[in-house]
Amino acid sequence: MADAIYDVIVIGLGGMGSSAAMQLALSGLKVLGLEQFEPNHELGSSHGKTRAIRLAYYENPNYVPLLKRAYHLWHDLEWRVGETLLEECGCLSVAY
């Protein structure tokens, strides 16, 4: 590895870093990802099995195209790993 040359080094392989590393690799770049903890650790900002993602964004409608892309990327990742990662269900927001 001492002689290895990479196009990009991604430091931190949490939700954002691992996604960035994967997209960079899919674009044809040689990527090295570095993470200080073991995989599936609970020491980062996005651990656990539950998260919320929604298309209804009243704060700013400009988020909606980004969210549609995010759904597409989730389904693409599921196809690549052969496993369900995103379980879609309904949600009712009663009060803000």
pLDDT tens by residue, 73-96: 999 999 999 999 888 888 887 876
Cα 16–Cα 71–Cα 37 angle in degrees, nearest 5: 25
The residue assigned the tokens 């998260």 is: 51
Give the pTM: 0.75
Within this chain, do residues 35 and 3 fall inside the same structural domain, yes or no? yes
Instruction: Give residue 31's domain range.
Output: 1-39
Q: Which residues pair with 8 in a beta bridge?
A: 31
**Average pLDDT, rounded, for the chain:** 88
Task: Look at residue 93 and tell me if it is in a domain.
Answer: no
Q: Name the domain count of the chain.
A: 2
Q: Which two tokens stand for residue 45?
A: 């900002």
Among residues 7, 5, 4, 46, the alpha carbon closest in space to that of 24 is found at 7
Does the residue 91 lie in any domain? no
Give the confidence band of 53 by pLDDT, cuts at 50, 70, 90.
Answer: confident
DSSP state of 86: -
Tokens for 36, please give them: 């200080």
With 90 as the cut, is the pLDDT of residue 47 above it? no
